[in-house]
Amino acid sequence: EPEVTQTPSHQVTQMGQEVILRCVPISNHLYFYWYRQILGQKVEFLVSFYNNEISEKSEIFDDQFSVERPDGSNFTLKIRSTKLEDSAMYFCASSESRNEKLFFGSGTQLSVL
């Protein structure tokens, strides 16, 4: 079965530093998402991306966050100046159409010190 791949699997950074989390969605998928999970429990929506633009974002997704699909295959999440509370597992997901199931990557565990 096709997979969503995410790199790195773990990222440790100092507070205030910029991080970029990378994702390669499934090749024929059109809808892309970032979610995060804190302490292995609640899964929170961050942003959805369709047709090369943000289609929806949550209150968490403030000016410190941005997303890009720079080359038609990668999908990145940038956090400009990390805070302690950004520590979480970040999941990328993609889907073929708007009502179809999401395929999730294995996640990037971000630790902000």
Partner 1 sequence: AQSVAQPEDQVNVAEGNPLTVKCTYSVSGNPYLFWYVQYPNRGLQFLLKYITGDNLVKGSYGFEAEFNKSQTSFHLKKPSALVSDSALYFCAVRDSHSGTYKYIFGTGTRLKVLA
Which residues would be at the binding site for partner 1 (CB under 8 A)? 4, 31, 33, 35, 40-45, 48, 50, 55-56, 58, 91, 93, 98-99, 101-107
Rounded to a whole number of angstroms, the minimum distance from the CB of residue 7 to partner 1 is 13
Q: Choose between 14 and 51: whose C-beta lies nearer to partner 1.
A: 51
The DSSP code for 16 is T
Q: Choose between 18 and 56: whose C-beta lies nearer to partner 1.
A: 56
Count CB atoms within 10 A of the CB of residue 62.
9
Q: Choose between 86 and 90: whose C-beta lies nearer to partner 1.
A: 90
Q: Collapse the DSSP code of 58 into the 3-class scheme (helix H, G, I; strand E, B; otherwise coil) and give the result.
A: coil
Rounded to a whole number of angstroms, the minimum distance from the CB of residue 9 to partner 1 is 9
Rounded to a whole number of angstroms, the minimum distance from the CB of residue 16 to partner 1 is 28
> Three-class SS string for 84-105?
HHHCEEEEEEEECCCCCCCEEC
β-partners of residue 44 are: 36
Rounded to a whole number of angstroms, the minimum distance from the CB of residue 89 to partner 1 is 9
Round to whole Å and give the CA distance between 52 and 17.
26
